[in-house]
């Protein structure tokens, strides 16, 4: 067939070139797969035929089996989209639990948001700003997780207690803490581009006309080649979207500072405690850099878990590093016994073992049974979620 195409005219040669390019990029087995089903999924757990049982485990309504990622064996992209759709439903489900089971209230950000602008939100207990004694602030890591979650994968594959912050929150409230749950990954909303915006984004450029013409020609050739590929691959075209960032909350770092300025710093609590996981640790360190005096005055102890902060890259000053050594501790994934010192190349807070055998990519704090909120002031110590953080004696 290839030899026949090569003997043809310009059009046939162009198809031959495109086909060669296709075969070099895509496994031949991919070309033999069935057409991809529509990327249309249920918008409820029941629609997916799943439910959380009395143990907080996600199980199939009919079979009682755990979630199956490879619902269609030969369609990885479709399975991934299905997984993401389920994840969005679980995010909303956790939001509901924060309000119904933990009795937290949802607070819109920015606090002075207009009707039309993009908005985010956090959750807090009724006494978060009025509790005179103690306040617990929770910051999750980066990625797809949202307020109230530690890890989506653990929620789906393990249970709600492993993957959410709910056990922390319930115990903290039981122990008399006010609670604020940050939402650092909710930085923008996505809206579908209009045809005019799609055209504008492709046309608008300050490049010289000659360079733009060459680029347009390449784009047309690429589109023609892609259209040819689609006869074989049959992928679904997804809608083009644009991101509209939330004012003063366009990144995890911005969000942490905004919540500090408008809520945490205004709280009546004499002692503020942070638990920050992964990128949440970096966001806390950035907060310290920007609000050093305020944080030192109000924060008693910080439990970091697998924190990815870096005092060199973030250009953390000596005074902050000294404060972190006295008031912070970073529990990291390790096979060593709980609280065993773990060597660090960075001159900041102590690093110790979380004392749990952890599956790859699973946050140690979520998987360990030791991680429940019981932040208790003792003589010369703060107990952070059942783990001891040495702090300066007061």
Name the one residue in this structure whose structure tokens are 């979620």.
385
pTM of the model: 0.77
CA distance 235 to 229: 9
pLDDT tens readout for residues 110-159? 999 999 999 999 999 999 999 999 999 999 999 999 999 999 999 999 99
10 domain-assigned: no
At residue 352, the pLDDT reads 84
pLDDT tens readout for residues 174-187? 999 999 999 999 99
At residue 383, the pLDDT reads 43
pLDDT tens readout for residues 361-373? 444 443 333 333 3
Helix H, strand E, coil C: the string for 224-282 is: HHHHHHHHHHCCCCCCCEEEEECCCCCCHHHHHHHHHHHCHHHCCCCEEEEEEECHHHH
27 domain-assigned: no
pLDDT level of residue 31 (50, 70, 90 thresholds): very low
361 is catalytic: no
134 domain-assigned: yes
100 domain-assigned: no
Please say if the pLDDT value at position 52 is more than 70. yes
- Residue 79 makes CB contacts below 8 A (sequence gap 6+) with 69, 70, 71, 72
324 domain-assigned: yes
305 domain-assigned: yes
278 domain-assigned: yes
pLDDT tens readout for residues 199-231? 554 454 555 666 666 656 666 666 555 555 444
Helices (H), the chain: 2-6, 10-25, 28-31, 76-100, 152-157, 160-163, 166-174, 195-203, 209-233, 252-262, 279-290, 292-298, 318-327, 364-367
The catalytic position among 120, 267, 278, 333 is 278
Question: Could you tell me which residues are beta bridge partners of residue 352?
Answer: 331, 341
pLDDT level of residue 377 (50, 70, 90 thresholds): very low
pLDDT level of residue 10 (50, 70, 90 thresholds): low
In eight-state DSSP terms, residue 220 is H
Domains in the chain: how many in total? Answer: 1
Name the one residue in this structure whose structure tokens are 């783990």.
387
Task: Please provide the DSSP assignment of 306-341 as one string.
Answer: S----TTTTT--HHHHHHHHHHEEEEE-BSSPTT-B
CA distance 134 to 179: 9
CA distance 232 to 35: 9
Residue-number span of the structural domain to which 339 is assigned: 116-190+245-357+368-385
The CATH number of residue 169's host domain is 3.40.50
Write out the H or E segment, with its range, that includes residue 190.
Answer: strand 188-192
255 domain-assigned: yes
Residue 371 CA: distances (Å) to CA of 52, 150, 151, 168, 338? 22, 12, 14, 8, 12
At residue 23, the pLDDT reads 61
CA distance 383 to 388: 5
At residue 281, the pLDDT reads 94
């Amino acid at each position: 067939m290839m030899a026949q195409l090569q003997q043809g005219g310009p059009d046939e040669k162009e198809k031959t070139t495109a086909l060669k390019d296709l075969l070099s990029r895509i496994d031949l087995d991919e070309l033999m797969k069935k057409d991809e089903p529509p990327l249309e999924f249920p918008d409820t757990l029941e629609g997916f035929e799943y439910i959380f049982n009395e143990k907080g485990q996600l199980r199939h309504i009919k079979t009682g089996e755990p979630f199956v990622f490879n619902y269609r064996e030969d369609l990885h992209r479709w399975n991934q989209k299905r997984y993401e759709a389920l994840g969005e439903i679980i995010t909303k489900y956790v939001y509901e639990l924060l309000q119904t089971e933990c009795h937290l209230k949802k607070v819109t950000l920015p606090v002075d948001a207009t009707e039309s602008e993009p908005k985010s939100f956090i959750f807090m207990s009724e006494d978060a700003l009025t509790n005179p004694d103690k306040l617990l602030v929770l910051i999750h890591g980066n990625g797809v997780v949202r307020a109230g979650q530690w890890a989506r994968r653990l929620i789906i594959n393990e249970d709600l207690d492993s993957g959410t912050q709910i056990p922390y929150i319930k115990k903290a409230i039981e122990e008399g803490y006010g609670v604020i749950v940050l939402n650092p990954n909710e930085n923008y909303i996505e809206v579908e581009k209009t045809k005019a915006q799609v055209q504008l984004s492709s046309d608008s450029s300050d490049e010289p006309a000659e360079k733009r013409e060459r680029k347009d020609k390449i784009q047309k050739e690429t589109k023609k080649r892609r259209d040819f590929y689609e006869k074989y691959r049959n992928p679904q075209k997804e809608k083009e979207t644009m991101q509209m960032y939330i004012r003063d909350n366009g990144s995890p770092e911005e969000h942490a500072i905004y919540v500090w300025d408008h809520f945490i710093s205004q709280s009546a609590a004499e002692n503020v405690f942070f638990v920050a996981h992964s990128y949440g640790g970096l966001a806390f360190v950035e907060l310290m850099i920007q609000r050093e005096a305020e944080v030192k005055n109000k924060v008693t102890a910080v439990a970091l878990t697998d924190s990815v902060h870096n005092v060199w890259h973030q250009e953390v000053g000596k005074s902050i590093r000294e404060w972190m050594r006295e008031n912070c501790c970073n529990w990291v994934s390790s096979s060593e016994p709980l609280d065993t010192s773990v060597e660090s190349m960075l001159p900041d807070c102590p690093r110790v073992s979380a004392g749990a055998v952890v599956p790859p990519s699973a946050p140690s704090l979520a998987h360990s049974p030791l991680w429940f909120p019981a932040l208790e002031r003792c003589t010369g110590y703060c107990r952070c979620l059942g783990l001891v953080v040495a702090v300066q004696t007061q």
